[in-house]
Amino acid sequence: MAEGESPVVLPDDPDAGPEVQVDYPGYRSTRWRVAERPLVTLPEEFHSLDGPVFGEDALGELDDDLTRQHPGEPIGERIIVTGRVLDEEGRPLRGTLVEIWQANAGGRYRHEVDQHPAPLDPNFSGAGRCLTDDDGRYRFVTIKPGSYPWGNHENAWRPNHIHFSIFGRQFTQRLVTQMYFPGDPLMEFDPIATSVRDPGARALLVARFDLDTTQPEWALGYQWDIVMGRGGAGTTPLENPR
Amino acid sequence: MTLPRTPSQTVGPFYSIGLSRAPQNELADPRDPAALRLIGVVVDGQGTPIPDGMVELWDPVGRRWGRSGTDSEGRFSFVVTKPGTFPGEAPRFDVLVFARGLLKHELTRVYFPDDADANAADPVLAGLDETSRATLVAEAEDGALRFDIRMQGDGHTVFFAH
């Protein structure tokens, strides 16, 4: 815990681009963990090999519906979260594995280390998986995760968010990120979100409420597209030399 | 038209509920006579084990993948057989490291200690100084392979831009 410490939020930097600032001082866990820089640049021909491919057999039937994984329904605001996984040219990434995890509606993770005194929900595990379809689209049904306090600084609270991991086509193309919700007042105080210092890039982490995705009398809908880099900065895809 | 990339964010401390619900750390059948345990510890810049990290392996030749969370003492473990090779390169796994505190995951490699000649000729290892090179080669230890990952400081593991 960091009693009495205020959040350290650095000013926005519109020129920072899409790269997160990996040594962002406001996120205290970076201090002794961020990998020693500078990174070594691999020769170009090593970048663009392929990566693991997962089939439908890797998935359980209810993996994409976090509200139906238990005998009862979870407490909370039922939501649909969907969007497309694209490359930088706008082409869909088909059949790629998307994994999500999140807190329950009270802001508590089903994890032994999470000691936030909010109730666990016996009907919510908070984990989901799916493969993107031919348009690169993923879709989950879940409940809106709650905010929760964390020990980064005094009175630190995470904005509502869902964790995402997306494989892409190559092992080095992998993206792990977090999806936020529109209008969240906590985001500007959050050193994890603000470690993306370009406000335009940060906005790409925020889903869009969508009335067309919303199902009447059932669930609110959010759209969130994900754009993956090429994996291996600046390289062009090469044939796998196998 | 180029679309702007979605930025990276940390896996955070609770990734295991989503990413390691079931063991995924066997890239080879443990009953295979050639199977080896590949073990190690992920440590931070103060030498403290990272108990909420995750390591993934990728065999780019055999196209095998695996994932291991770290335990309360920062330890990860895999069951592997040695990968094949690309022409002119030494056998290796590509390695991704994730953890609370890493706003973006890191990329490294693990090579094998009994491939001295191939390692000496490997174009990536050959581009590194001796100290850096040593951080990418596992050590034989009690019939297993040991590969510790040091995020910072003296003897830190070499990480690659990606």
Minimum-distance CB partner of B17 among A50, A101, A178: A101
> Does B159 have pLDDT greater than 90?
yes
CB contact under 8 A, B7 and A228: no
- Inspect the interface and report whether the beta carbons of B14 and A111 lie closer than 8 Å: yes
Burial (CB count within 10 angstroms: exposed 0-12, middle 13-18, buried 19+), residue B136: buried
- List Cα–Cα distances, A97 to A37, A93, B24, B75, in angstroms: 30, 10, 15, 26
Inspect the interface and report whether the beta carbons of A113 and B160 lie closer than 8 Å.
no
A122-144 pLDDT, tens digit per residue, is 999 999 999 999 999 999 999 99
- Decide if pLDDT at A38 tops 70: yes
Q: Answer whether A64's CB lies under 8 Å from A128's CB.
A: yes
Average pLDDT over residues B23-41: 96
Catalytic residues of A: 109, 148, 158, 161, 163
Beta-carbon separation of B7 and A204 below 8 A:
yes
Pick from B7, B16, B96: CB nearest A18: B7
Tens digits of residue pLDDT in B96-152: 999 999 999 999 999 999 999 999 999 999 999 999 999 999 999 999 999 999 999
Q: Which residue of A has its CA nearest to B10?
A: A177
How far is the alpha carbon of A137 from chain B, nearest alpha carbon, in Å? 16
How confident is the model at residue A201, as a pLDDT? 97
Helices and strands: H and E segment counts in chain B: 4, 9
**Residue A186, Cβ neighbours under 10 Å: how many?**
16
pLDDT at residue A241 tops 60: no
| B117 φ/ψ angles, rounded to the nearest 5 degrees | -70, -45
Give the ipTM: 0.96
At residue A8, what are phi and psi to the nearest 5 degrees?
-100, 105
pTM over 0.90: yes
* pLDDT, position B124: 95
B107: Cα separation from own chain's centroid: 8
- Give CA–CA dist B60/A242, Å, rounded: 9
